[in-house]
Amino acid sequence: MIAHIHGKLVSKSFESVIVDVGGVGYKVFIPLTTYYKLPDIHQTVLLMVYTHHREDAIQLYGFLTAVEKEMFHFLISVSGVGPRLARNILSGIDAKELIEALAGGDLARIKCVPGVGSKTAERLILELREKVQTSQVAGESMKGNGKEGLFKDVLSALINLGYKQQQADSALSEVKRNSGDEMSFEVIFKMALKVLAKG
């Protein structure tokens, strides 16, 4: 089983990346939350990996953080949730936000994730609520959570994209002035990019 991959990022898309390790290119499926935090092409990347064995193929799913990987493990342990749906769920909601929604039994928030209906959302809460509350990794991720934690994650992502810290800080300061209470990583990230595009 492959636990992690460390190599040069050859290509990246919203669905997958190819990482060159010693001349061998590994295709790794990723959620959007991982995509937004990836470094530039030809830069070095370290992905924590889940290896999924199928009858006709071996598929790799990669994550930049331990909490994303753990949430992926939790999701695929739920009846009716396979790796593809688990990746889609993590693309539609940040791992920290998902932990918070599961722990709080926030059915409405989970139902908002594309591909998740009422029955699946109820099953996720029923089977994972206790797991996320007792998980050490999930618990650590909740420290410093909330809006400030999200802004720190976005700052890191912007710097990985090549923006200087002063530029990124300035853009995020403007986003903070115009942001509401309910903000996700993706929304803050996109708002910051718009500000940076204006110069």
pLDDT at 143: 56
Q: Looking at 21-25, 87-91, 162-166, 169-173, which range is the least confident one? A: 162-166
Which CATH architecture group holds 67-142?
Orthogonal Bundle (1.10)
With a cut of 80, say whether residue 121 has pLDDT above it. Answer: yes
Q: Which SS3 state, helix, strand or coil, does residue 20 take?
A: strand
Q: pLDDT tier at 73 (50, 70, 90 boundaries)?
A: very high
Q: Which of 186, 16, 6 has its CA nearest to residue 84? A: 16
Contact 36, 94 (CB under 8 A): no
Asked: is 147-198 a CATH 1.10.8 domain? The reply is: yes
Mean local confidence (pLDDT), 117-121: 91
Q: How far is CA 59 from CA 49, 55, 134, 140, 176, in A?
A: 10, 11, 29, 29, 39
pLDDT value of position 46: 93
Top-confidence residue, 30 or 183: 30
The CA distance from 23 to 7, in Å, is: 9
Rounded (5°) CA angle 13-17-23: 140
pLDDT digits (tens, 9 = 90+) for 134-193: 887 666 665 545 566 677 778 877 877 788 888 888 998 888 887 766 667 778 888 889
Residue 126 has a pLDDT of 93
Say if residue 41's pLDDT is above 90.
yes
| Cα–Cα dist 8/21, whole Å | 7
Q: Please report, for the chain, the start and end positions of each structural domain, with discontinuous segments joined by +.
A: 4-63, 67-142, 147-198
Name the one residue in this structure whose structure tokens are 């940076």.
Answer: 196
Beta strand 16-21 with 24-29 is antiparallel
Instruction: Find the radius of gyration of the CA atoms of the chain.
Output: 17
**What superfamily in CATH does domain 4-63 come from?**
Nucleic acid-binding proteins (2.40.50.140)
Q: Report the range out of 9-23, 54-68, 185-199 with the highest average pLDDT.
A: 9-23
Output 23 or 143, whichever has higher pLDDT.
23
- Work out the average pLDDT over 89-117: 88
